[in-house]
Chains A and B, each alone.
Chain A
């Protein structure tokens, strides 16, 4: 992959950017469909969702739930990121580590969130369930992508580093970092969305008190469709915001590194 560290896939981002007119059209379609069905319990209208959201925003409990879930999902993501980087680096030069981790990574990739969640409820308190679930969903993505990035580092550059006797720190800073970054960026983009989806799904099953998952579950048992949609909106917005802030921070850090 011959991408820049910092430029990323600007063209792709532009192509994938969300247009306001498309969002507006979807909202109109949703409103029309909701009017046609005529039963808010089956399909709530966007106006009702907006109204319910406005009500929720004014409550302290709303923000506490977001903070509760955000803290835990962020912790799970950070742990997965750190361990993914560490083990990908280890696996890249130590084949037995790679072979040892291979089955575990495969299991993590293939096991459904529900199975992990139910299993984990036996081991750990439901309060911290989303930390673990976010971790097991994100770790394989980060690990696999980074490992692939490291292993596909241009061998000619590694030969060059050998001839110039570059110390490990310089090889990492100048060669590996620039080669691996496109893989890392794409892994982060995929896994941020994934850790939110899986973390909340785990909370719905485990129902830790004061979490977004608990709110979703309550909306389901009381057939409170406006709440269900409002909380779903919150998850989408928080997840996207987190992704934006994280990728922006990473971009700035890399630009700084590139200029050094």
Chain B
């Protein structure tokens, strides 16, 4: 089902972030929300996730949908290993080998048992991306998912994400126009 946003209004005190905002995010496609800082990209994602309530307006198409997300922050359990962080969201019983293979796909080898707090920023980001992809979902929400990745890793990870979300509904928030190109999305400018 498409995700339809209708006449959305949201303010924080005197600051109005959305006023009668409307959009249609098509099912099975990647929608890329772009725009300069402070335009409300992250707020829109949080409204879609249900973490914030709009002042008025409606969001259709997400009722009962299983969401998955890469947040702006990594939001990993720092004391746990990447394997535990991934296993946490896997519904079915996933073998260690499968998770290790998934980690290898995004260039994470030999760190699967280390506590996440010992990983670099870019490594944590990749664990966070992988966690979102391994969870069962109908809609994937990505907030600046590739920030902090070096050029080579960026290409590897975006190729992996593109393959994994092909034909699925994803909404991406990004500053970087390359992200939209790499994931092959439709642009929604705020």
Type the 1/0 row for A62-97, where 1 means its CB is closer than 8 Å to any CB of B. 000000000000000000000000000000000000
In angstroms, Cα B135 to Cα A260, docked, is 18
Q: Which single member of B51, B73, B77, B81 contacts A175 (CB below 8 Å)?
A: B77
- Listed A/B pairs (11) with beta-carbon separation below 8 Å: A2-B117, A4-B115, A157-B77, A163-B51, A164-B89, A164-B135, A165-B66, A166-B88, A178-B78, A258-B80, A259-B113
CA distance A193 to B81 in the complex (A): 33
Name the interface residues of B110-156: CB closer than 8 Å to any CB of A.
113, 115, 117, 135
B69 on the interface (CB 8 Å rule)? Answer: yes
Asked if B49 is at the interface (CB within 8 A of a chain A CB), the reply is yes
Choose from A2, A163, A260 the contact partner of B84 (Cβ within 8 Å): A260
Q: Is the CB of B71 within 8 A of A160?
A: yes
In the complex, the chain A residue whose C-beta lies closest to that of B51 is: A159
Question: What is the CB-to-nearest-CB distance from B68 to chain A, in angstroms, rounded to a whole number?
Answer: 7
Complex CA–CA separation, A156 to B74 (angstroms): 10
| B68: chain A residues within 8 A (beta carbon) | 163-164
**Chain B contacts for A200, CB-based, 8 A:** none
CB-CB contacts of A156-180 with B at 8 A, as 1s and 0s? 1101101111100010001100100
Report if A5 contacts B (CB, 8 A): yes
B117 and A174 contact, CB distance less than 8 A: no
**Contacting B80 at CB < 8 Å: which of A160, A166, A174?**
A174
Check: B100 CB closer than 8 A to any chain A CB. Answer: no
Give every chain B residue within 8 A of A178 (Cβ-Cβ): 77-80
Whether B88 pairs with A2 at a CB distance below 8 angstroms is no
Nearest-CB residue, chain B, relative to A2: B78
Which secondary structure dominates chain A's binding surface? helix
Chain B residues within an 8 Å CB radius of A160 = 69, 71, 75
Q: B161 in the interface, Cβ–Cβ < 8 Å?
A: no
In the complex, whether B67 has a CB less than 8 A from a CB of chain A is yes
- List the A side residues contacting B67 at CB < 8 Å: 163-164
In the complex, chain B residues whose CB is within 8 Å of the CB of A164:
67-69, 88-89, 135
List B contacts of A159 (CB < 8 A). Answer: 51, 71, 75
What is the CA–CA distance of A220 and B168 in the complex, to the nearest angstrom?
Answer: 80
A164 to B70 CA separation, bound complex (whole angstroms): 11
Q: Tell me if A258 and B89 are in contact (CB < 8 A).
A: no
A6-B79, A174-B80, A260-B84 provided; 15 other pairs, C-beta below 8 A?
A3-B79, A4-B79, A4-B117, A156-B75, A157-B75, A157-B77, A159-B71, A160-B75, A163-B69, A164-B67, A164-B68, A164-B135, A165-B66, A174-B77, A178-B77
Contacts of A170 in B (CB 8 A): 88
Across the two chains, which residue of chain B brings its CB closest to A254?
B79
Does A258 contact B69, Cβ atoms closer than 8 Å? no
Known: A156-B73, A163-B49, A164-B68. A258 touches B79 (CB 8 A): yes
Q: How far is the CB of A154 from chain B (nearest CB, A)?
A: 8
Alpha-carbon distance between A175 and B71 when the two chains are bound, in angstroms = 17
What is the 8 Å Cβ interface bit string for chain A, positions 167-205, against chain B (1 contact, 0 not)?
000100011001001000000000000000000000000
- Which B residues touch A156, using CB under 8 A? 71, 73, 75
Q: Tell me which of B71, B73, B75, B84 contacts A258 (CB under 8 A).
A: B84
A7 nearest CB across to chain B (Å): 8
Give chain A interface residues in 1-30, CB to chain B under 8 Å. 2-6
Kindly identify, within residues 70 to 100 of chain B, every residue whose CB is under 8 Å from any CB belonging to chain A: 71, 73, 75, 77-81, 84-85, 88-89
Give A238-260 as 1s and 0s: 1 = Cβ < 8 Å from B's Cβ atoms: 00000000000000000000111
Inter-chain contacts of B135 with A (CB < 8 A): 164
A258: B residues at CB distance < 8 A: 79-81, 84, 115
A6→B118 CA distance, assembly (Å): 14
CA distance A156 to B69 in the complex (A): 13
Residue among B66, B71, B77, B79 with the highest chain A CB neighbour number at 10 A: B79
Determine the residue in chain B with the shortest Cβ distance to A165: B66
Chain B, residue nearest A157 (CB) = B75
